Amino acid sequence: MGSLSIASKRLRQSRYLSLLFNSSSLSNIYGGKSPELESRLISRRTALSRALFCSQPRQNSRENSRIDLTQYPPELIRNFSIIAHIDHGKSTLADRLLELTGTIKKGHGQPQYLDKLQVERERGITVKAQTATMFYKHSIQEASCSDDQGPANFLLNLIDTPGHVDFSYEVSRSLAACQGALLVVDAAQGVQAQTVANFYLAFESNLTIIPVINKIDQPTADPDGVKAQLKSMFDLDPSDALLTSAKTGEGLEQVLPAVIERIPAPPGKSDSPLRVLLLDSYYDEYKGVICHVAVVDGALRKGDKISSAATGQAYEALDVGIMHPELKSTGMLLTGQVGYVVSGMRSTKEARVGDTLFHSRSTVEPLPGFKPAKHMVFSGLYPADGSDFEALNHAIERLTCNDASVSITKESSTALGLGFRCGFLGLLHMDVFHQRLEQEYGAHVISTVPTVPYIFEYSDGSKLQVENPAALPSNPKQRVTACWEPTVMATIIIPSQYVGSVITLCAERRGQQLEYSFIDSQRAFMKYRLPLREIVVDFYNELKSLTSGYASFDYEDADYQESDLVKLDILLNGQPVDAMATIVHKLKAYRVGRELVDKLKKVIDRQMFEISLQAAIGSKVIARETISAMRKNVLAKCYGGDVTRKRKLLEKQKEGKKRMKRVGSVDIPQEAFHELLKVS
Ligand SMILES: Nc1nc2c(ncn2[C@@H]2O[C@H](COP(=O)(O)OP(=O)(O)OP(=O)(O)O)[C@@H](O)[C@H]2O)c(=O)[nH]1
């Protein structure tokens, strides 16, 4: 029965393969004319790709054998994370460890195996933390794990985490399931900003930290220099550092023995009532909500009745297993083990990250859970074609099932119609969300200028958090008495020769220097308090270009600070366009207003009538441009009578017009909204 269903699943998978990875074939078959059909096919495509990557049956006959988790008491388990600055080689190291333990085949042809999302593969970054269970034989002298003192079989749970600052929430959640972390540092680049941030995340979580100096094969590698940095910055003993090359395989044989010998076993109690920490969840077309969990105490078995401490809802554990690295049903998860549970939850909203699951018949003290994700950036998302609202609604609902860290509320704009206000963890997160909407769900969206959550106080004493500038009245009658903006604590590490230009950049961005020191003779370390608004737009790119790409930057949210803010309106032919309003610091309002109208003038096509573009604070216009009238005759150069050629040109013009948004009588191209993102 099992092999039959596997065979038929494979057949289905192979029949869909060409469709899966060839979106053009979708539009060929359906001529792009049946949106429902296309959206159904796209969601099927996504589901199948997930099924392929997440639950594809393995070729190896060993895979079909049952894994008996009772063989792995907590003392034979190690849970560890791989943390590092972006691109220091976490995912490649994870690949090598999976190969070394036979969890995946060598030369599986899929580098960065645990980066399963299309956006992760295209951008070469990790966005979602991924867990993989490995089995590894090792003998340790002191432990009395096996009577004959021969090698014992260990169960190792490896969690690969994202490196980018926007996803540090994923990192902190992953660390909650671990007792140790491999802190990977590039042997040539040395300690970078996110190495510092991730080290402190792990340190504050009381994890055992094993420094791994990776990429020692590079000609510019300086492992001794990096050891010295690790000592001076984190007080890590240089002799504890492992030297590896995830590329050539050098030094990798020391990694897992070090994990087993240095990282403590999970501390939970097997004989205590069940407590399961819910780490993450995603929606699978076939299985429903799949929760990633860590069993802190007790044992969870298939068929158990479990309850959620957060919602009080009761469920049945329909399937329980480990990620090996695909889902592998084991029928149980015991103390200290990390795996998955399918419990018939209908939406990921029921699966609250940080929740405690326990046996319905028992009463337990819930686990501390996690701080809720903090949304740093808000932006409006509107369908490029106003009539696609339902399709976009559906796409967003499905995507938030797999990315619960986005906040969504419906909103409407006079310029763009019905849409959504979405809260993201940062700009990259916002970008990745857009890309996934387009790639996985075929949605075409217009996004408005990202903004940060400000707090405004009015003369009647009321305070309001403003996530959408349009919500702020321009009406001076409702007087604002004070406003506050969010700030961040930024860590910047740069080669010393760039110190001057980076200080100037931070001063321009209204930064306040808090710390300035040298890591070694070549690199400086700075801490700044910066308004979040100033780093949201283009700060990182500018920092990178000022320092020839050598700067590294990380931030964590800090307090609100009082600030002199104004709402900047953009008016087209005298009408304010709500979707283009922004909130800026008063000192910058004139410059930003001028840049905005200049940019808009470049991207808005001349039309049949004159268009005035204005930037205004309240009723005061601070910048103005005019786009003169014209009639664009696309057939002007098309002499002669070839009707098909003329038709082609007119079709092309019509196509272009579809991508315009009509505001009042003015057509605004999608690029206008994109251009606005770049003005700070
Ligand atoms: N020369 C060399 N290159 C390596 C080594 N390890 C990884 N790389 C390369 O470094 C790049 C980044 O590797 P990843 O494994 O994606 O890095 P990461 O830390 O997982 O990146 P994020 O998930 O985006 O934070 C890839 O091009 C790898 O091929 C190594 O030991 N030596």
The chain-wide mean pLDDT, for the chain, equals 78
**Helix, strand, coil % over all residues of the chain, rounded to 5:** 35, 30, 35
Q: Is 217 annotated as a binding residue?
A: yes
Q: What pLDDT, on the 0 to 100 scale, is given for residue 24? A: 31
Measured CA distances, 564 to 450, 467, 510 (Å): 19, 17, 12
Specify the pLDDT at position 16. Answer: 29
CA of 131 to the centre of ligand 1 (A): 18
Tally Cβ neighbours within 10 Å of residue 364: 19
CA of 84 to the centre of ligand 1 (A): 10
Distance 374 CA to ligand 1 centre (A): 28
Q: Is 187 annotated as a binding residue?
A: no
Give the C-alpha separation, 571 to 191, whole Å: 48
Residue 87 annotated as binding site: yes
Ligand 1 atom at minimal distance to the Cα of residue 184? 19
* Pocket of ligand 1 contains residue 91 by CB under 6 Å: yes
Residue given tokens 């803010």 in the structure block = 565
As a whole number of angstroms, the distance between CA 431 and CA 543 comes to: 19
- pLDDT at residue 229 greater than cutoff 50: yes
* Ligand 1 pocket: which of 91, 159, 160, 245 to mutate (most atoms within 8 A of CB): 91
Cβ(126) – ligand 1 distance below 6 Å = yes
Res. 332 pLDDT band, cuts 50 70 90: very high
Model confidence at 39, in pLDDT bands (50, 70, 90)? very low
* Predicted confidence (pLDDT) at residue 134 exceeds the cutoff of 90: yes
Question: How many Å lie between the centroid of ligand 1 and the Cα of residue 96?
Answer: 12
For the Cβ of 223 lying below 6 angstroms from any atom of ligand 1, the answer is no
Residue bearing the CA closest to ligand 1, atom 10: 89
Mean pLDDT of 163-169: 69
Does 548 belong to an annotated binding site? Answer: no
Q: What are the DSSP E strand ranges found in 442-601?
A: 445-447, 454-458, 463-466, 480-495, 512-518, 523-531, 552-562, 565-572, 575-576, 582-585
Residue nearest to atom 21 of ligand 1 (CA): 87
Beta-carbon contacts of 47 under 8 Å, excluding residues fewer than 6 positions away, are 284, 285, 286
Q: Whose CA is nearest to atom 9 of ligand 1?
A: 89
Amino acid sitting at position 231: K
| DSSP string across 97-158 | HHHHTTSS-TT-S-SSTT--SHHHHHHT---S-EEEEEEEEE--SS--SSTT-SPEEEEEEE
Confirm or reject: Cβ of 121 under 6 Å from ligand 1: no
Question: How far, in Å, from the CA of 91 to the mean position of ligand 1?
Answer: 7
431 labelled ligand-binding: no
Q: Which protein residue's CA is at the shortest distance from atom 32 of ligand 1?
A: 215
108 marked ligand binding residue: no
Confirm or reject: Cβ of 247 under 6 Å from ligand 1.
Answer: yes
- pLDDT tens for each residue of 211-226: 999 999 999 999 999 9
Spell out the residues 6+ positions from residue 228 whose beta carbon is closer than 8 angstroms to its own: 238, 520
Number of the ligand 1 atom closest to the C-alpha atom of 94: 15
What is the DSSP secondary structure assignment for residue 455, as one 8-state letter?
A: E
Tell me how far apart the alpha carbons of residues 344 and 349 are, in angstroms, rounded to a whole number: 13
Ligand 1 centroid–CA 673 distance in Å is 34
Helix (H, G, I), strand (E, B) or coil at 226: helix
Of all protein residues, whose CA lies closest to atom 30 belonging to ligand 1? 215
pLDDT at residue 21 tops 80: no
Ligand 1 mean position, distance from CA 43 (Å): 31
The residues pairing with 423 across neighbouring beta strands, listed in sequence order, are: 378, 407
For residue 214 and ligand 1, the question of a CB distance below 6 A is answered with: yes
Ligand 1: which atom is nearest the Cα of residue 84? 19
Q: How far apart are CA 242 and CA 250, in angstroms?
A: 11
Would the CB of 246 count as within 6 Å of ligand 1?
A: yes
Annotated ligand binding at 84? The verdict is yes
Please report the ipTM that was assigned to this predicted complex: 0.97
- Predicted local distance difference test score (pLDDT) of residue 431: 81
Measured in angstroms, how far is the CA atom of residue 162 from the centroid of ligand 1?
A: 12
Cα 404 to ligand 1 centre (Å):
27
CA 593 to CA 591: how far, in whole Å? Answer: 5
Closest ligand 1 atom number to CA of residue 126: 23
214 is in an annotated binding site: yes
Contacts of 515 (CB under 8 A, 6+ apart): 525, 526, 527
Indicate the range of 1-10, 58-67, 403-412, 637-646 predicted with least confidence.
Answer: 1-10
638 confidence band (pLDDT: 50, 70, 90): low
User: Which ligand 1 atom sits closest to the C-alpha of 123?
Assistant: 24
Whether residue 216 contacts residue 183, with contact meaning beta carbons closer than 8 Å, is answered with no
* Ligand 1 centroid – CA 218 distance (Å): 12
- Edge-to-edge strand order for the sheet containing 407-413? 407-413, 417-424, 377-383, 445-447
417: phi then psi, degrees, rounded to nearest 5:
85, -150
Q: Is the CB of 217 under 6 A from ligand 1?
A: yes
Q: Whose CA is nearest to atom 23 of ligand 1?
A: 126
Q: Annotation-wise, does 91 bind a ligand?
A: yes
The rounded distance, in Å, linking the Cα atoms of 117 and 105 is 20
Rounded distance between C-alpha atoms, residue 273 and residue 309, angstroms: 14
Residue closest by Cα to atom 12 of ligand 1: 87
Distance 214 CA to ligand 1 centre (A): 9
Q: Is the pLDDT of residue 641 over 50?
A: yes
Distance 124 CA to ligand 1 centre (A): 9
Which residue lies with its CA nearest to atom 24 of ligand 1?
A: 125
pLDDT category of residue 252 using cuts at 50, 70 and 90: very high
Band (349; pLDDT cuts 50, 70, 90): confident
- Report the candidate in 168, 179, 210 with the shortest Cα–Cα distance to residue 337: 179
Q: What is the pLDDT of residue 154?
A: 94
90 in contact with ligand 1, CB cutoff 6 A: yes
Place of tokens 């958090």: 465
Atom of ligand 1 nearest to the CA of 115: 23
pLDDT tens-digit profile of 473-484? 665 556 788 899
- Residue range 574-602: mean pLDDT, rounded: 86
Instruction: Look at residue 505 in the predicted model and tell me its pLDDT.
Output: 94
Query: Is 112 close to ligand 1, i.e. is its CB under 6 Å away?
Result: yes
**Cβ–ligand 1 contact at 198 (below 6 Å):** no
Q: Which of 92, 170, 171, 189 to mutate to test the pocket of ligand 1 (most atoms within 8 A of CB)?
A: 92
In angstroms, what is the span from residue 93 Cα to ligand 1's centroid? 8
Substitution site in 86, 87, 159, 245 for ligand 1 pocket (most atoms within 8 Å of beta carbon):
87
pLDDT, tens only, 510-565: 999 999 998 877 889 999 999 988 887 778 878 888 887 778 888 888 899 999 88
Q: What is the pLDDT of residues 263-299, one digit of tens each?
A: 999 998 999 999 999 888 888 878 888 888 999 999 9
109 marked as part of a ligand binding site: no
